[in-house]
Structure 1
């Protein structure tokens, strides 16, 4: 186990072993391991969401 992912007490360790911990599921290492088409789809959706929020904000200011 990496030093940064070590649990700080037994309760957290038990939680991670039994239920899993999704907080550390998305990091650079897991994204690098994905196939290219899935990465590109993810980048597209993230970009689309960002641009959409920005456009909605700008259009509401102009109205």
Structure 2
């Protein structure tokens, strides 16, 4: 059985109810994704990070 996560305080609970956020957010959401989707996310994150780093380095060398 899932462990129920209680809201931090009444304001957070109210905002979650209005916005439609789930109070039971699992902390291992990435582990439940299919492997191809997980690897695609890792690739995109890595590509974005390397691209930003290269843009900064090349801009400094220009």
TM range (shorter): 0.7 to 0.9
Q: Distance in 2 between matches of 1:60 and 1:26?
A: 41
- Higher helix proportion: 1
Give the alignment's Cα RMSD to 1 decimal.
2.5
The corresponding residue for 2:37 is 38
Q: Does 1:9 align with 2:9?
A: yes
The answer to which of 10-19 and 41-50 deviates more is 10-19
The corresponding residue for 2:20 is 20
Q: Which has the higher contact order (CA 8 A, sep 6+)?
A: 2
Paired residues in the alignment total 58
Unaligned runs of 5+ in 2: none
Q: TM-score, normalised by structure 1?
A: 0.72
Unaligned runs of 5+ in 1: none
Structure 1 runs of 4+ with >3 Å offset: none
